């Protein structure tokens, strides 16, 4: 009825526990869990729920989070509240809470929040393992900066690492791809000593005019994991550093060229794709100039490899565009085409109205919404691809 065409025969599942939406990092904090409410409303308003299996996963347990995280860290995380937090406490600081930037605040329901998004990623992974789905989606996950005993960059528990650990129980090689504008450092580090996971991240990399590195400051092209030739994880990471303002055409070419080569060489048995929406044009924290369909073309590319796929969220700080993108990408997974005019009966329609170039539509032009001059020249990108190909030759396969 709303422009939905026939699906192409992929079994897609959608893993979402609506309780995640009610958590708040604080009013000025850029991470807004209610962007998930908007996403779900768009997905439902286009009728996409009829094209997928819907799951409301239970929260992950303490022991499940301990698949990756230190128990001492988890105990602290499970007990800390805004009321009992002591910002000068040595553990509080050592575990990454608060700090000058307050990237990882302690808020009400924090433990519930991390258990819910991780439970959804685990549920998605289990659906691949028991062959219930070809593609399993969790837009509430993708918290790629969390380390085993450290909260970092809005991430407290690394649901991606835990989902990959589950996939490794049946799959010999798992490929992790990360199109969030930030480097997927936590996932890379977690698997740095194994050849059973290959990590590939595309991200903004560089130092701004005040001398600050773009967060987290890692992920240059020459960072390929451990250098020790005896380490099995050697050359099983590939980082694609990108400068401000990259456009649709350049990004699509870069992504397709590099990712296809990695898939060909590594031949993964399953893929986990982190689809952070902060790589869109007009993102509050991002620096790129991508439109929704260019971002979504990465999902199309990965889908075309025909491997079992877990698709997860991540960053994304302009909520209406996050919702548009993840709704579009849900449609890509099921093989549907969506009308540009938003259905008129959606509960949060006003969130998508009154924009200069996005009023009431799904695909606004985001290329120029927040001007970042394109500092990526075609010759520089060709050189980058050449270096990436050279890096891949160090992988034994």
**Active site residues per annotation:** 183
Single out the residue of 129, 221, 285, 349 in contact with ligand TV1 (rule: CB under 6 A).
285
Local structure of 138: helix, strand or coil: strand
Q: According to the binding rule CB under 6 A, does residue 322 interact with ligand TV1?
A: no
Size of the site for Ca ion (CB under 5 A): 5
Q: According to the binding rule CB under 5 A, does residue 283 interact with Ca ion?
A: no
Q: According to the binding rule CB under 6 A, does residue 370 interact with ligand TV1?
A: no
Q: At what angle do helices 292-304 and 248-266 cross, to 10 degrees?
A: 20
CA 280 to mean position of chain CA atoms: 13
How many residues does the structure list for the chain? 397
Q: According to the binding rule CB under 6 A, does residue 315 interact with ligand TV1?
A: yes
Our CB check for Zn ion shows the closer of 308 and 315 to be 315
Q: According to the binding rule CB under 6 A, does residue 29 interact with ligand TV1?
A: yes
Q: According to the binding rule CB under 5 A, does residue 178 interact with Ca ion?
A: yes
- The helix (H) or strand (E) run that includes residue 258 is helix 248-266
Q: What residues pair up with 14 in beta bridges, in sequence order?
A: 54, 137
Q: According to the binding rule CB under 5 A, does residue 103 interact with Zn ion?
A: no
Our CB check for ligand TV1 shows the closer of 153 and 233 to be 153
Residue 381: CB atoms within 10 A of its CB come to 19
Which range, of 218-226, 255-263, 276-284, 317-325, touches Zn ion by CB under 5 A? Answer: 276-284
Q: According to the binding rule CB under 5 A, does residue 204 interact with Zn ion?
A: no
Nearest to 331 by CA among 305, 361, 292: 292
CA distance 62 to 78: 8
Which entry of ligand TV1, Zn ion, Ca ion, none binds 153, CB below 5 to 8 A by partner kind?
A: ligand TV1
Which entry of ligand TV1, Ca ion, Zn ion, none binds 30, CB below 5 to 8 A by partner kind?
A: ligand TV1
Which range, of 95-103, 242-250, 252-260, 310-318, touches Zn ion by CB under 5 A? Answer: 310-318
Nearest to 35 by CA among 317, 281, 280, 283: 317
CA distance 372 to 385: 22
Cα 306–Cα 310–Cα 314 angle in degrees, nearest 5 = 130
Give, as one character, the DSSP assignment of residue 152. Answer: B
Nearest to 239 by CA among 287, 293, 301, 176: 176
Minimal distance, residue 285 CB to Zn ion, in Å: 7
Q: According to the binding rule CB under 6 A, does residue 102 interact with ligand TV1?
A: yes
Q: According to the binding rule CB under 5 A, does residue 315 interact with Zn ion?
A: yes
Local structure of 288: helix, strand or coil: coil
Which range, of 76-84, 164-172, 181-189, 319-327, touches Zn ion by CB under 5 A? Answer: 181-189
Single out the residue of 119, 276, 308, 364 in contact with Zn ion (rule: CB under 5 A).
276
Minimal distance, residue 208 CB to Ca ion, in Å: 18
- Is 142 within 8 Å of 314 (Cβ atoms)? yes
CA distance 166 to 187: 14
- Using CB atoms within 10 Å of the CB of residue 386, give its burial: 0 to 12 exposed, 13 to 18 middle, 19+ buried: exposed
Our CB check for ligand TV1 shows the closer of 220 and 337 to be 220
Give, as one character, the DSSP assignment of residue 180. Answer: S
Which range, of 45-53, 172-180, 231-239, 371-379, touches Zn ion by CB under 5 A? Answer: 172-180
Q: According to the binding rule CB under 6 A, does residue 15 interact with ligand TV1?
A: no
- Is 285 within 8 Å of 181 (Cβ atoms)? yes
Minimal distance, residue 184 CB to ligand TV1, in Å: 8
Q: According to the binding rule CB under 5 A, does residue 201 interact with Ca ion?
A: yes
Which range, of 1-9, 71-79, 175-183, 291-299, touches Ca ion by CB under 5 A? Answer: 175-183
CA distance 330 to 299: 9
Binding positions for ligand TV1, rule: CB under 6 A: 28-30, 101-103, 143-145, 153-155, 180, 182, 215, 276, 278, 285, 314-315
Binding positions for Zn ion, rule: CB under 5 A: 180, 182, 276, 278, 315
Binding positions for Ca ion, rule: CB under 5 A: 178, 180, 184, 201, 203
């Amino acid at each position: 009825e709303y422009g939905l065409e026939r699906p192409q025969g992929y079994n897609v599942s959608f893993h979402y526990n609506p309780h995640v939406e009610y958590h708040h990092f604080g009013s000025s904090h850029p991470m807004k869990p209610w962007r998930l409410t908007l996403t779900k409303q768009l997905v439902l308003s286009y009728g996409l729920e009829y094209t997928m299996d819907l799951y409301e996963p239970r929260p992950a347990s303490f022991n499940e989070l301990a698949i990756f995280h230190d128990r001492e860290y988890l105990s602290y995380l499970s007990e800390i509240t805004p009321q009992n937090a002591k910002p000068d406490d040595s553990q509080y600081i050592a575990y990454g809470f608060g700090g000058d930037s307050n990237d990882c605040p302690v808020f009400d329901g924090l433990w519930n929040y991390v258990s819910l998004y991780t439970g959804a990623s685990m549920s998605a992974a289990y659906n691949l393992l028991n062959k219930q789905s070809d593609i399993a989606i969790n837009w509430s996950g993708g918290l790629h900066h969390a380390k085993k005993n450290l909260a970092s960059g809005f991430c407290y528990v690394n649901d991606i690492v835990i989902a990959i650990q589950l996939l490794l129980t049946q799959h010999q090689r798992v490929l992790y791809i990360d199109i969030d504008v930030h480097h997927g450092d936590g996932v890379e580090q977690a698997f740095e000593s194994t050849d059973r996971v290959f990590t590939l991240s595309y991200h903004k990399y560089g130092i701004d005019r005040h001398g600050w590195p773009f967060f987290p400051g890692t992920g240059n092209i020459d960072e390929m994991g451990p250098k020790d030739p005896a380490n099995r994880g050697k050359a099983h990471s590939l980082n694609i550093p990108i400068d401000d303002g990259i456009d649709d055409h350049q990004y699509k070419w870069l992504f397709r060229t590099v990712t296809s080569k990695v898939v060909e060489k590594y031949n993964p048995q399953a893929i986990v794709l982190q689809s952070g929406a902060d790589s869109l044009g007009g993102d509050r924290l991002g620096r790129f100039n991508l439109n929704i369909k260019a971002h979504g073309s990465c999902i199309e590319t990965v889908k075309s490899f025909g491997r079992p796929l877990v698709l997860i969220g991540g960053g994304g700080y302009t909520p209406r565009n996050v919702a548009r993108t993840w709704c579009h990408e849900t449609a890509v997974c099921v093989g549907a085409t969506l009308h540009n005019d938003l259905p008129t009966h959606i509960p949060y329609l006003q969130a998508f109205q009154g924009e200069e170039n996005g009023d009431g539509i799904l695909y606004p032009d985001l290329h120029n919404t927040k001007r970042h001059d394109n500092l990526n020249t075609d010759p520089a990108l060709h050189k980058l691809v050449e270096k990436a190909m050279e890096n891949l030759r160090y992988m034994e396969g």
